[in-house]
Amino acid sequence: MIGELAENSIYFGVLLSLTAYGVGLWLKRLTGWALVNPLFIAIVLVISVLLLFDISYDTYNRGADIISYLLTPSTICLALPLYQQIELLKRNYKAVMAGILVGSLSSVCIVLLLALLFGFDHASYVTFLPKSITTAIGIGVCQELGGYVSIAVAVIIITGVFGGIVGEKIFNILHIDEPIARGVALGTSSHAIGTSKAMELGVVEGSMSSLSIVVCGIITVVLAPIFANFL
Partner 1 sequence: MRLLFQFLIIVVISFVGEMLNHFIPLPIPASIYGIVILFTALKMQWIKPHHIGDVCRFLILIMPVLFIPSAVGLIKSWDLISANLLQYVVILMVSTVVVMAASAIATQQVIKRSKRKQQQQQ
Q: How far is the CB of 30 from partner 1 (least distance, A)?
A: 18
Q: Is residue 13 involved in binding partner 1 (CB under 8 A)?
A: yes
Q: Is residue 15 involved in binding partner 1 (CB under 8 A)?
A: no
Burial class (CB in 10 A: 0-12, 13-18, 19+), 166: middle
Rank residues 30 and 70 by Cβ distance to partner 1 and give the closer one. 70
Q: Is residue 126 involved in binding partner 1 (CB under 8 A)?
A: no
Q: Do 172 and 183 contact (CB within 8 A), yes or no?
A: no
Q: Is residue 118 involved in binding partner 1 (CB under 8 A)?
A: yes
Q: Is residue 19 involved in binding partner 1 (CB under 8 A)?
A: no
Distance of alpha carbon 92 from alpha carbon 109, whole angstroms: 26
Query: Which DSSP state fits 10?
Result: S
Q: Is residue 162 involved in binding partner 1 (CB under 8 A)?
A: yes
Rank residues 5 and 71 by Cβ distance to partner 1 and give the closer one. 71
Task: Name which of 57, 49, 45, 53 is nearest 1 in CA terms.
Answer: 53
Q: Is residue 217 involved in binding partner 1 (CB under 8 A)?
A: yes
CA torsion sign for 58, 59, 64, 69 is positive
* Window 173-202: residues binding partner 1 (CB under 8 A): 174, 176-178, 180-182, 184-186, 188-190, 192-193, 195-197, 199
When binding is defined by CB under 8 A, the residue of 1, 8, 33, 73 that contacts partner 1 is: 73
Distance of alpha carbon 148 from alpha carbon 118, whole angstroms: 17
